[in-house]
C-alpha cells in the first residue's frame, strides 16, 4: 500500500509525525520528492495529480514486492482538474484554435493509469472508474471480481486533487463549511458542509495472502441512497465480531444522521473517524481503507491523530469501515487481520 | 537572426517546461528530437502550437513540420521566411 495525503503518510512517518491540521477548510497533500520515482523528462509535463497518482502507485508496487502488476484498476471523481481547467481556459483564450495537446490528453480520467502502465511496462487490463463517491469502490469491486476470475494480483487505487477554482465552485453549492474550521476539531463543529481534501492511495491486492499482506477484505457492500432501514440492516449484518469501526464522519450536519444511525447499530464498538486527516473528497474512502489496513497490521493507532482518547481494544482482528459521500454513495467494508 | 534564436530558445524552454535547461545549453544546430534535447512526438505538437501562438504561423503539412522542427536554427529560418519583408 502507499498513500500521499495531507498527513505524513508517504514516508512511513505516520506514528511519529505530528497531526497536520488547518483552519483554511482545505487539507492539501504533503507531496514527496518525485524525482526518485519519475524520470525528469516525463516529470516536466505532468501536473500535480498525475505525479501524485503515479508516484503512489510505484511506491505501492515497491512495498508489495510483487514486481510488475497484473490489472491496473483505479477510481477518480474528477481526474486531473489542473489540466481540465487549463484546457478549458485555453479554449476561450485562443478562440478554439492553437490548443496545446498536453492538457487535453492529461485531462482525461485514465491518464494516470496510462502513465503507470507505461512506466511499469504493463500491458494487462487497465481501467479507470469515474462514479463520483463510488469511483474507488467500483475500482475495488472490479478488482475483487478480477481476482475471483483468476488474476494473481491487481494494482488498485484512487486519486483526487483540489484546485482553487474547484474549491470555489463546490463552496457555492454548500460542500464546505462557511466559516474557518480547524480540521482537528472537525467533529465538534456540526454545521452544514465539511472541509475539502485530496489524496492518492494505492493497494496491491492479491487473491491469496502474502507475507507482506496488511489485511484481508472479507465483506464489501455499496449502497446508493439507502433508506435508514436498509442501512441499519446491512450494518447489523456485518457488526458480528467487529473490534473497531472506522467511519467517514465529516462534521456535515446535513448528512450526520447516517452516522448517528450507524452509532445506534454499532453501540459498544469503539469508533475512529478519518476525515479530519484527509478531508472530504470523492475517493476519500480509499484513505479510510488504507488506515484500516495499517491499523490491522501494526496493531497500533497513531495516537497524535486521535487526541480524543477513544478506548481501543487490546487486539484488533476485525475492522468495519463505513463511509458515505454526501449521503448518496455509501460503502461498508469489513477487513480482517491476515 | 541571433536575437530571434535567443528568444525562440526561451520560448521552447517555457512551453516544454525544460526545468534544468538554459538557453545557452541549446546548440543552434543540435537536433531537438531523439538526441540533443531528447524531445518526443507530443513536444513536436507543442512546438507547432508555439509557432501558431507566438508567430501566427500555421504549419499545415506534417512533412514540412518535420523539417522545420529539426533544430532551433531551422525553426528560426522558417519563422524569418514567413515574416513580411
A5-46 pLDDT tens trace:
999 999 977 888 999 999 999 999 999 999 999 998 899 999
Q: Does B17 touch chain A (CB under 8 A)?
A: yes
Topology of domain B2-82, CATH: 1.10.1200
Q: Rounded to an integer, what distance in angstroms lies between the CA atom of residue A170 and that of residue A13?
A: 32
Residue A308: its pLDDT value, please? 65
Q: Do B20 and A40 touch (CB under 8 A)?
A: yes
Give the whole-angstrom CA distance, residue A103 versus residue A47. 9
Could you report the per-residue pLDDT of B37-61, keeping only the tens digit for each?
A: 889 889 999 999 999 999 999 988 8
DSSP type of residue A108:
S
Distance from CA of B1 to the nearest CA of A (A): 25
pLDDT at residue A14 in the model? 82
- Residue A183: which of A277, A247, A259 has the closest Cα? A277
| The residue to which cell 463505513 is assigned | A322
**Set of chain A residues whose Cβ sits within 8 Å of the Cβ of B16:** 44-45
Q: What is the pLDDT of residue A15?
A: 82
Q: Which among A33, A38, A41 is the top mutation candidate for probing chain B, defined by the most B β-carbons within 10 Å of its own β-carbon? A: A41
CB nearest B42 (choices: A94, A99, A101):
A101
Which tens digits make up the pLDDT trace of A295-316?
999 998 888 998 666 778 889 9
Global ipTM? 0.85
Strand partners, A156: A73, A203
pLDDT reported for residue B38: 84
φ/ψ (deg, to 5) at A74: -130, 165
Q: Which residues of A touch B46 (CB under 8 A)?
A: 100-102
Predicted pLDDT of residue A51: 98
What's the confidence (pLDDT) of residue A281?
98
Q: For A258-293, what is each residue's pLDDT tens digit?
A: 999 999 999 999 999 999 999 999 999 999 999 999
Dist CA A61 CA A55 (whole Å): 10
List of chain B residues whose C-beta atoms are within 8 Å of the C-beta of residue A100: 45-46, 49
Nearest residue of chain B to residue A95 (CA atoms): B53
CB pairs under 8 A between A and B: 26
* pLDDT for residue A16: 87
Domain ranges of chain B: 2-82
A274 in Cβ contact with A288 (< 8 Å): yes
Neighboring chain B residues of A105 at a CB cutoff of 8 Å: 42
- A95 contacts chain B (CB < 8 A): no
Cβ within 8 Å, pair B45-A101? yes
**A41/B45 Cβ within 8 A:** no
Dihedral over Cα of A201, A207, A212, A214: its sign: positive
CB contact under 8 A, B49 and A105: no
* 3-state SS assignment for residue A155: strand
The C-alpha cell 484554435 sits at A97
Q: Which residue of B has its CA nearest to A94?
A: B53
Q: How far is the C-alpha of A138 from the C-alpha of A216, rounded, in Å?
A: 18
Query: Who among B38, B52, B53 is closest to A41 (CB)?
Result: B38
CB < 8 Å to B20, chain A: 40
Taking domain A2-336, whether its CATH number is 3.40.50.2020 is answered by: no
Q: What is the pLDDT along chain A (338 residues), one digit of tens a residue?
A: 999 999 999 997 788 899 999 999 999 999 999 999 999 889 999 999 999 999 999 999 999 999 889 999 999 999 999 999 999 999 999 998 889 999 999 999 999 999 999 999 999 999 999 999 999 999 999 999 999 999 999 999 999 999 999 999 999 999 999 999 999 999 998 899 999 999 999 999 999 999 999 999 999 999 999 999 999 999 999 999 999 999 999 999 999 999 999 999 999 999 999 999 999 999 999 999 999 999 999 998 888 998 666 778 889 999 999 999 999 999 999 999 99
Q: Do A105 and B42 touch (CB under 8 A)?
A: yes
Give B 26-45 residues with CB within 8 A of chain A: 38, 42, 45
A230 part of contact set with chain B, CB < 8 Å: no
- Domain extent listing, chain A: 2-336
Amino acid at each position: 500500500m502507499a498513500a500521499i495525503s495531507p498527513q505524513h503518510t508517504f514516508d512511513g512517518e505516520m506514528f511519529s509525525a505530528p497531526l497536520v491540521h488547518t483552519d483554511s477548510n482545505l487539507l492539501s497533500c504533503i507531496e514527496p520528492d518525485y524525482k526518485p520515482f519519475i524520470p525528469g523528462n516525463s516529470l516536466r509535463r505532468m501536473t500535480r495529480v498525475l505525479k501524485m497518482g503515479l508516484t503512489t502507485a510505484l511506491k505501492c508496487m515497491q512495498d508489495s514486492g510483487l514486481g510488475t502488476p497484473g490489472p491496473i484498476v483505479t477510481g477518480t471523481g474528477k481526474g486531473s482538474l489542473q489540466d481540465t481547467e487549463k484546457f478549458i481556459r485555453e479554449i476561450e483564450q485562443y478562440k478554439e484554435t492553437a490548443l496545446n495537446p498536453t492538457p487535453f490528453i492529461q485531462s482525461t480520467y485514465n491518464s494516470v493509469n496510462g502513465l503507470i502502465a507505461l512506466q511499469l511496462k504493463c500491458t494487462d487490463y487497465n481501467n479507470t472508474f469515474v462514479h463520483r463517491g463510488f469511483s474507488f469502490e467500483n475500482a475495488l469491486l472490479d478488482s475483487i471480481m478480477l481476482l475471483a476470475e483468476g488474476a494473481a494480483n491487481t494494482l488498485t487505487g484512487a486519486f483526487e486533487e483540489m484546485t482553487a477554482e474547484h474549491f470555489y465552485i463546490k463552496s457555492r453549492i454548500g460542500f464546505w463549511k462557511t466559516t474557518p474550521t480547524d480540521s482537528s476539531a472537525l467533529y465538534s463543529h456540526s454545521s452544514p458542509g465539511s472541509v475539502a481534501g485530496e489524496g492518492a492511495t494505492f493497494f496491491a491486492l492479491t487473491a491469496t495472502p502474502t507475507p507482506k499482506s496488511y489485511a484481508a477484505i472479507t465483506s464489501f457492500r455499496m449502497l446508493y441512497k439507502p433508506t435508514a432501514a436498509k442501512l441499519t440492516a446491512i450494518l447489523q449484518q456485518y457488526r458480528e465480531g467487529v473490534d473497531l469501526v472506522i467511519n467517514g464522519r465529516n462534521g456535515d450536519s446535513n448528512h450526520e444522521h447516517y452516522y448517528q444511525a450507524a452509532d445506534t447499530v454499532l453501540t459498544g464498538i469503539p469508533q475512529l473517524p478519518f476525515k479530519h486527516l484527509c478531508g472530504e473528497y470523492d475517493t476519500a474512502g480509499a484513505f479510510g481503507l488504507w488506515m484500516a489496513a495499517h491499523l490491522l497490521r501494526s496493531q497500533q493507532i497513531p495516537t497524535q491523530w486521535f487526541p480524543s482518547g477513544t478506548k481501543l481494544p487490546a487486539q484488533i482482528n476485525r475492522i468495519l469501515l463505513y463511509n458515505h459521500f454526501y449521503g448518496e454513495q455509501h460503502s461498508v467494508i469489513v477487513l480482517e487481520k491476515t | 537572426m541571433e536575437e530571434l534564436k535567443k528568444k525562440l530558445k526561451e520560448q521552447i524552454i517555457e512551453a516544454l517546461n525544460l526545468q534544468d535547461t538554459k538557453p545557452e545549453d541549446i546548440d543552434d544546430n543540435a537536433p531537438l528530437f531523439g538526441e540533443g534535447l531528447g524531445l518526443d512526438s507530443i513536444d513536436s505538437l507543442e512546438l507547432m502550437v508555439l509557432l501558431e501562438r507566438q508567430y501566427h504561423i500555421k504549419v499545415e503539412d506534417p512533412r514540412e513540420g518535420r523539417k522545420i522542427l529539426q533544430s532551433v536554427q531551422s525553426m528560426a529560418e522558417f519563422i524569418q521566411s514567413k515574416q513580411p519583408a
